[in-house]
Structure 1
Amino acid sequence: MSSDHIKMVIGIDDTDSREGMCTTYLGALLMDELSSFCKHTGDPLLIRLNPTIPYKTRGNASVAFCVECREPDEVIDHVVSRISSLAELDCENTNPGVVFVLETDFTETKTELGDFFRSAVKDVIVIDEAKALAGKLGLTFRAFKNGRGLIGALAACGAMLNPGWDHSYEYLTYRKKELWGTPRFVDSNSLYEADESTYPETWDSVDRANRVAVCVPRSPDPVLYGIRGNSRQAVSKAVELIRSEDTERSCIYKTNQGTDMHLLRATCIDDICEMHSYILEGTVETAANTIKGGHSIFVLSDDSGKTIDCAAFEPTKNFRDVIRRLIPGDRIVVYGSVMDVTLNIEKINILSLAQMSEKRNPECPSCGKRMKSAGAEQGYRCKKCGTSAQDPETVSLERNIEKGFYEVPPCARRHLAKPLARFKVSDAVLFPGR
């Protein structure tokens, strides 16, 4: 591009609803449409925000991309017009926002937008904060309805201007419009073949233990399937192996999915706040209690004695078996989000296991057989040899669990949660259910 072209970052959020549309689709569509009079630079971004926010539409994702153009106003008008016509504006919870950051403002806005990006992933931000920041920085933006989408749009721009964060990639394919809302055709055997060929460089395409095609959504949105992986090459290789209905378009996004970016490290339970996500070390205080609905909940205590309920909800399937094997005294680290004073577990690291034992009638030292009770408070007696003992024998039991990491299955994993497949080999993790 010649020197009279200017770079511009465009951030978009909250254009979808539970009934349709997808912000990543709108981003891909706009990039294709703008390519006739703009040049795209760098990878487009798919940014997942704080997963505990209750007023999110579906995946709480925003997108951003960077273009070089001669007429920024032309680009702005086109993007605003297309959001106006394509966003699910009739839905009460859909409140789009779009932000435009010109190259002349990159330096002055970079730091504050970067801080805002990290806060939007970890903390709770209100709409007025986003509007105030956009106004303070003098950015061009458009807020539709209450403008909640400005939060994600600003965050995505901040991610684009501050690229040094851990990232992965997602190859998203989109359906032809006439097929939206109809049953999807993606050959399940090809998904398992692609997973077998590319795992662990790609992950969460399928859930082998629960026989679920995780990468194929069930909602009536434009996405056909999405493949997540460590590199553009890995996700592209997997897609080459997948057999499906014809697609309208596709896009590879750089993303913060699978990074644990949402997690804060809590030194104690007093540090914990609602609608935030944490890494917390503690000691199992009670064995798990499975309640109606199949949810398994145990109490975790910190070193000060404060406690919090930790839950493996029914959708975590076989992960609950791990939780049910924990006993008081086990030392663990839990990873997860706090809602309603309960930590929703995404994975755990078992640091040490408490000894489990039971009391048995003692063995006879002469014949080796178990003694019988001699009566209340009268100890034990061997009927054959006549030997006696006063106290029962304490026997250590083998634990049906090992130290190490355990994670929820792919069918229950949150977008931001880092799968064990992305952990370093030196972490010596376990892969239950793979």
Structure 2
Amino acid sequence: MLIGIDDTDSNEGMCTTYLAALLADELKAFGTVSDFPYLVRLNPSIPYKTRGNAALGIEISLFDESLESKKELISFATNKIEEYADLSCEKTNPGAVFIFDEAYVSLRRPLNDFFKKAVTDVVEIEEAAAFLKSAESDFSNSVFHISMKNGRGLIGALAVCGAVLNPDWDATYEYLAYRLPKNWGSNGGPKRFVETESLILADKTTAPETWDTIDYDKKSKPFPVCVPGGNDPVLFGIRGDSSDAVLKAAKCVVSEEIERSRVFKTNQGTDAHLILAESFSDMLPLHSYLSKGTVSSKSETIEGGHDIFQIQDDYGNFLKCAAFEPTGDFRHIIRELIPGDEIRVCGSFKNETLNLEKIKILKLAEEFESVNPNCPICGKKTESAGVGQGFRCKKCKTKTESKAEVLIPRKISVGWYEVSPSARRHLSKPLIRYSKDELIS
């Protein structure tokens, strides 16, 4: 069987991953729990999300497959959700789905479609409710759900079930360590202690198999990206390509006492949210895209340090692109783009603007400047002979009628560029994960 859970956290505290880690430990009384719970990030542009828009899934082989045992498990999980969910938050609307027996196989394909849509598209509560109504009718005593408040969490709960049932996708891993409950920020606990030097060691020991542990782009000192700043239970998280890599990195970390930890299987760092858009006119709000175009205007830095520029596709459509201040040194690359540069862009589309996650410069335009010509004899720079009188060399007495056009060296080159690690979205694929073929394609 499997359990899908979503939307128990809030902006003020709690974390659905903690509830999943807790359940993965305590549900061992009911059966054998899979090694890695699933942590699936959904569409990052959805406005209803609390923080990271993650849904959690747990797979179990039951000791007792009777209906009574199943209902006991559902009751146990429901009580835990009620105990730990931050129901005081307006955005927190928990949902959980339980799938047993024959439904486990029969719903594989439709749930996979639901999973893919929840990562790339907009899914409404009514769609999740209709899916469950049909499934519970077709598979009586094999599909159950619980919801609280408006039940928006049912969307993620169904989506993560689709991920668990269809594991044929680019999977990464995250090790998450949790604080002692007495130290949670919402309980007035102390500031997190995670030694930055130990995180640097963890990064140097395991990179490129792990990533986004430290942001070295910060001007003052290395910034620990993997340590959150809010009131939630997470102490730190290490992301990587394998469970071995994240566990190896975690062993390097010096921190305050850890209550529990868990390695999750996840779709983070995969670009699963990106949709290929041939034309900018195909772009819809609250979706994320991969597209290409030609720069049509130089970047303008607006109030707040954000950089805005425009590109044009092959169909004559224009698209405004933005590199926001938190993206760090990435903005310096954007400021070097000039009209005529051909680029590939990745980002989320909102307010008629593509918020950039990374770009690839495909071709650089040539830029020239007019300068006083060199003397054809001695090679030295000539001087103006007066208004409308051309240029002359004092030494050789040579004369040239007009200025020379000289190619300006570009400060950027063809290739991929990405935002700083501290500004990266959970789903955005870091360049460190790209294969050689992906980097040159």
* Shorter-chain TM band: over 0.9
**1:38 equivalent among 31, 35, 41:** 31
Look up the match of 1:432.
Answer: none
Look up the match of 2:140.
Answer: none
Task: Give 4+ residue runs of structure 1 displaced > 4 Å after superposition.
Answer: none
Aligned mates of 2:217, 2:353 — CA distance in 1: 27
Look up the match of 1:50.
Answer: 43
Percent identity over the alignment is 52
Look up the match of 2:377.
Answer: 366
Aligned mates of 2:345, 2:288 — CA distance in 1: 10
Which SS does the other structure have where 1:159 is aligned? Answer: helix
Look up the match of 1:387.
Answer: 398
Aligned mates of 2:20, 2:195 — CA distance in 1: 26
Aligned mates of 2:396, 2:24 — CA distance in 1: 89
Name the stretch that deviates more: 101-110 or 158-167. 101-110
> What is the CA-CA distance between 1:383 and the residue it aligns to?
4.1
Aligned mates of 1:109, 1:428 — CA distance in 2: 37
> What is the CA-CA distance between 1:384 and the residue it aligns to?
4.2
Matched, 1:199 2:207: yes
Matched, 1:27 2:25: no
Matched, 1:114 2:125: no
Look up the match of 1:176.
Answer: 180
**1:128 equivalent among 126, 129, 148:** 126
Deviations 1:211-249 (A, max 9, x none): 210000001100000000000100000011111111111
1:178-327 mapped onto 2 (5 Å cutoff): 178-181=182-185, 182-210=190-218, 211-327=222-338
> What is the CA-CA distance between 1:82 and the residue it aligns to?
1.1
**TM-score under structure 2 normalisation?**
0.93
Look up the match of 1:84.
Answer: 82
Matched, 1:409 2:420: yes
Aligned mates of 1:419, 1:103 — CA distance in 2: 38
Give ranges in structure 2 of 5+ residues lacking alignment.
Answer: 137-142
**TM-score under structure 1 normalisation?**
0.95
**For the structure 1 residues 278 and 404, does the alpha-carbon distance in structure 2 shift closer, same or farther, using more than 3 Å as the test?**
same
Matched, 1:68 2:72: no
Paired residues, number: 422
> What is the CA-CA distance between 1:42 and the residue it aligns to?
5.1
**2:154 equivalent among 127, 150, 156:** 150
Deviations 1:164-197 (A, max 9, x none): 0111000001111000013101111000000000
Do 2:217 and 2:328's aligned partners in 1 also have CA atoms closer than 8 Å? no
Aligned mates of 2:263, 2:377 — CA distance in 1: 74
Which SS does the other structure have where 1:54 is aligned? Answer: coil
> What is the CA-CA distance between 1:337 and the residue it aligns to?
0.7
RMSD: 1.3
Do 2:375 and 2:381's aligned partners in 1 also have CA atoms closer than 8 Å? yes
Which SS does the other structure have where 1:250 is aligned? Answer: strand
**For the structure 1 residues 402 and 345, does the alpha-carbon distance in structure 2 shift closer, same or farther, using more than 3 Å as the test?**
same
Aligned mates of 1:125, 1:376 — CA distance in 2: 68
* Letter of the structure 2 residue corresponding to residue 109 of structure 1: L
* Letter of the structure 1 residue corresponding to residue 18 of structure 2: Y
> What is the CA-CA distance between 1:333 and the residue it aligns to?
0.4
Which SS does the other structure have where 1:245 is aligned? Answer: coil
Which SS does the other structure have where 1:24 is aligned? Answer: helix
